[in-house]
Amino acid sequence: MSDHDPLIHMTPPSGTPAVALADPTPTGGIPIDPRRHWPRRLAIGVTALVLVAVGYYLVTLYQVHSTGRSDQTRPVDAIVVMGAAQYDGRPSPQLAARLDHAAELWAAGVAEVMVVTGGNQPGDRFTEGEASANYLIDHGVPAQAILQETVSHSTYASLEGVASLLHQRGLFRVLLVSDPFHSLRSRLTAQELGLVAYVSPTRTSPVQGSSATGRELQEAAGIALGRIIGFERLLSITG
């Protein structure tokens, strides 16, 4: 019998049938160890995960950009102006651009209620909400039509206060006014808080060009995470 015969014949004791024992190694005599494949499988899994994450971010970035270019103006219960910086009662150019657009929407009869938002920084004499309300009154919006949320320091907190003010009055449909890059996050946050939200971004914001692109990139990262963990939890992480 050849040394390379795959079957090893052993002579059994007298009266016992012969049994053929299979060679435990495959052809060629090299055993296969499945553990050798795990690095390749891990690399494939990590690559797939990275591609999914990048694709998810790019889709979100496109949505940030496209929402900022949209205008969903329609009759609603309230126009909501998202706050921005103010200087001793005078709205910053960014906030003034939002307020000018909101005043135009008011004049067009979009809603009978206007809501302004934003607290103040330490040492400020005025809140963003107060500065916004005074500016709108000077531009023809009746004081009795304006509701003020004046304690917040974030998008989520602002809209949480807005939702509370409006729900008490049985109002739910809002048109959000902010910068284009900020519109999608504002809408998604408002929806998370139980509001039916639409957006009408200002077109006169001083945040333009590369600055606006940078803000869109940041917004997309925050929104991508906020959609997974919720925008309230995102606030607790990012501040």
Structural domains of the chain sorted by starting position, each given as residue range(s) with its CATH number in brackets: 67-238 (3.40.50.620)
Q: Which single residue is written with the structure tokens 């060629």?
A: 28
Can you give the pLDDT at residue 15?
Answer: 55
Can you give the pLDDT at residue 40?
Answer: 83
- Which among 163, 169, 81 has a CA at the least distance from the CA of 127? 81
- Which among 105, 113, 109 has a CA at the least distance from the CA of 171? 113
Can you give the pLDDT at residue 146?
Answer: 98
This prediction has a pTM of 0.82
* Residue 95 CB-density burial (10 A; 0-12 exposed, 13-18 middle, 19+ buried): buried
Phi then psi dihedrals of residue 91, to 5 deg: -60, 140
Nearby residues of 42 by Cβ (< 8 Å), 6 or more positions away? none
Contact between 181 and 212 under an 8 Å Cβ cutoff? The reply is yes
**pLDDT in single tens digits along all 239 residues of the chain:** 445 444 444 455 555 555 555 555 555 555 656 666 778 888 888 999 999 999 999 999 999 999 999 999 999 999 999 999 999 999 999 999 999 999 999 999 999 999 999 999 888 899 999 999 999 999 999 999 999 999 999 999 999 999 999 999 999 999 999 999 999 999 999 999 999 999 999 999 999 999 999 999 999 999 999 999 999 888 877 75
